[in-house]
Amino acid sequence: MDDYILISWLNDFIFCPVSIYFHQLYGNKETLLYQNSDQISGKAAHKTVDEKCYSTRKDVLQGISVVSEKYGLVGKIDIFDVANGVLTERKKRIVNIYDGYVFQLYAQYFALMEMGYTVSNIRFHSMDDNKNYDILLPCEDHIMSVKFESTIKAIRDFSLDDFQQTNIKKCQRCIYEPACDRGLI
Ligand code: SF4
């Protein structure tokens, strides 16, 4: 499994590749130390799924681990309604739909399809304002599909030694900034 990429890295990598290293370094032990309040409440949004108490329906998969052999990705889905083919990723509050969010959903989609499920609809759900955001399937959005694959390749090719952060705004809102020697602050 060493060569597998965690699905969550797709979003982290786009924000800043170095943040992946901090995730690995601190893991879950230091969650409270290194997460800001937004991220903690975001985790709370997923708590019901992680504890598998969102639904008792047998045709709803919740928080299960998935793997895509094709892309070398491993991670967890949020909620998949098997009967309707609807894959939903809930977030505390969605203000923008970043590419990294979409790539995570793509990864879950491909993994489920490889596992033999039919996924016909992928979407985000913003819990605070109870809004759904439907996302085009990868086969319906060529540009995003190409970006998805190039991001995976960029993660595999990434060299920390050669990386230089150039966007100070990212460092200003980065939870790892106090511990990061690549930061611009
Ligand atoms: S402080 Fe800046 S360089 Fe360091 S992980 Fe955060 S965004 Fe990246």
Backbone angles phi, psi at 51, to 5 degrees: -90, 5
How confident is the model over 83-105, as pLDDT tens digits? 999 999 999 999 999 999 999 99
| d(CA 51, ligand 1 centre) in Å | 31
Predicted TM-score (pTM) of this structure? 0.82
- Does ligand 1 lie within 6 Å of residue 16's CB atom? yes
How confident is the model over 165-184, as pLDDT tens digits? 999 999 999 999 999 999 99
Q: Is residue 145 part of a domain?
A: yes
The residue whose CB lies within 8 Å of the most ligand 1 atoms, and thus the one to mutate among 171, 173, 185, is 171
Provide the number of structural domains found in the chain.
1
User: Can you list the residues of the chain whose pLDDT is less than 50?
Assistant: 1, 29-42, 51-53
Determine the structural domain holding residue 157 and report its residue range: 5-179
Q: Is residue 185 part of a domain?
A: no
Q: Which residue has the tokens 């928080």?
A: 63
The pLDDT score that the predictor gives to residue 54 is 53
* DSSP 3-state of 135: strand
Q: Is residue 184 part of a domain?
A: no
**Domain CATH number, residue 45:** 3.90.320.10
Classify residue 86 by burial, with Cβ atoms within 10 Å: 0-12, 13-18, 19+: middle
How is residue 7 written in tokens? Answer: 């699905």
| d(CA 170, ligand 1 centre) in Å | 7
Please tell me the distance from the alpha carbon of residue 84 to that of residue 22, in angstroms, as a whole number: 38
Please tell me the distance from the alpha carbon of residue 88 to that of residue 55, in angstroms, as a whole number: 13
Q: Which residue has the tokens 């708590």?
A: 47
